[in-house]
Amino acid sequence: MSILNYAEQDSWSNGFGSQQSPIDLRQAEPTSVTNFVVTDPWIADREIDDQVTIQLAGHGTTRINEMTWHFVQAHIHVPAEHITTEETVAELHFVHQSVIGALCVVAVLVPIGKANPIIDGILDHFQPHATESIDCDLTGLLPNRGTVFQYLGSLTTPPLTEGVTWYVIEQTDITISSEQLKRYKQLFGPNNRQVQAANQRPVLRGSGTFTK
């Protein structure tokens, strides 16, 4: 399996085109509250070195505005991929799937601040070039409050599949310390996809309620 090369992302094959991610979210229009309810905790049972980031595969269930999604895996992007008005240094992606195969990503934008104990545990447990068993509750990486941006986009890595529902959360509850960020950068190079054209897609912004 070839390793994804972010230095050559302009050559990534994209057979879709007009609804790619990530995007600049600063022109979002106001909308109503988005309700997140984690009905089964996001439990990671495998920690995987996929050569470009740490991937955490597992299970869980989330209800977002009465739609049920099943947690599949989480991973980390440094630098952050989406752009908002606030300064962030990392982006956590919690990938979900519906019973009919639709995809949804809950993305948490992470600023510099205090060290996060869950991130510490992930970094401590990580083994290069390996897949390790782990028992890690990731639900604590969902904030207690935040601003939620919603739009229709794509995966940010090949095959760049479109039709992905994005919920991007701008928040300050979940932070990463400078030391944690340094440890991550010692393991991986930059893995953020370039910002893509919005192409007049509707982008909505509202407050979020989070029940865990």
CATH of the domain at 135: 3.10.200.10
> Which pLDDT belongs to residue 83?
98
pLDDT band with cut points at 50, 70 and 90 for residue 3? confident
Residue 75 lies in a domain: yes
What is the reported pTM?
Answer: 0.97
- Whether 1 maps to a domain, the answer reads no
Q: Is residue 10 part of a domain?
A: no
Give the domain extent around 175.
18-208
Helix (H) / strand (E) element for 178: namely helix 178-187
Q: What share of the chain in percent tops pLDDT 90?
A: 93
Q: Is residue 8 domain-resident?
A: no
Number of domains in the chain: 1
For 183, the enclosing helix (H) or strand (E) is helix 178-187
Report if residue 29 sits inside a domain. Answer: yes
Q: In this structure, is residue 13 part of a structural domain?
A: no
Examine residue 200 and state whether it is found in any structural domain, yes or no.
yes
